[in-house]
């Protein structure tokens, strides 16, 4: 089962979705916990903030910018951190969270998150596929990630 609750501002306008927490994220106890994942440095740079270090700082960054953060899957079978090995997946109730908060935009962190959202979430807001911040996506540098994500955050009305 998914080890983390969603994090969100009460006035969240956009939901950022990952796929499933990596082993390192589960070990550190929070989203995007691998030290080489560029999610937190990217988000901080886009918003002109200091890169958050603690869970509290990360949650504050999400909430300060009217965001919500969760993963598509509530449970799955997976080999290590390989999204390609995901099977027997069960989605989170993303449509219910979006309806409760009034979220109208979903930003998927990577192709697998987007594909699983399209497969499982039939009545949720429109989703946009963004380049993954994972260290496995070495083809995209931090500058490129910031450019792609800042455009999406602007379209979602949270930048």
Q: Any idea which fold 7-155 has?
A: Uracil-DNA Glycosylase, subunit E (3.40.470)
d(Cα 111, Cα 5) in Å, to the nearest integer? 22
d(Cα 12, Cα 19) in Å, to the nearest integer? 20
d(Cα 35, Cα 71) in Å, to the nearest integer? 19
What Å distances lie between residue 4 and 53, 73, 84, 137, CA to CA?
A: 18, 11, 22, 24
- Residue spans of the domains in the chain: they are 7-155
The vertex-43 CA angle with 122 and 18, nearest 5°, equals 30
Cβ neighbours of 141 (radius 10 Å): 11
pLDDT score, position 1: 82
Average pLDDT, the chain: 96
In sequence order, the β-bridge partners of residue 129 are 108
Give the SS3 label for residue 24.
helix
Residues 58-116 pLDDT 10s = 999 999 999 999 999 999 999 988 888 999 999 999 999 999 999 999 999 999 999 99
d(Cα 154, Cα 4) in Å, to the nearest integer? 27
**Both tokens assigned to 89:** 């997946």
d(Cα 17, Cα 19) in Å, to the nearest integer? 7
pLDDT score, position 81: 85
């Amino acid at each position: 089962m998914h080890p983390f609750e969603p994090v969100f501002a009460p006035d969240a306008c956009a939901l950022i979705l990952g796929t499933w927490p990596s082993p390192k994220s589960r070990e550190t106890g929070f989203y995007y916990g691998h030290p080489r994942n560029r999610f937190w440095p990217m988000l901080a740079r886009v918003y002109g903030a200091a890169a958050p270090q603690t869970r509290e700082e990360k949650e504050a960054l999400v909430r300060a910018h009217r965001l919500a953060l969760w993963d598509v899957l509530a449970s799955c079978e997976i080999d290590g951190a390989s999204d390609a090995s995901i099977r027997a997946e069960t989605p989170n109730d993303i449509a219910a969270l979006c309806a409760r908060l009034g979220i109208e935009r979903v930003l998927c962190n990577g192709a697998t998150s987007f594909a699983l959202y399209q497969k499982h979430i039939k009545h949720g807001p429109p989703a946009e596929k963004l380049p993954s911040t994972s260290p496995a996506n070495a083809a995209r540098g931090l500058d490129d990630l910031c450019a792609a994500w800042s455009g999406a955050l602007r379209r979602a009305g949270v930048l």
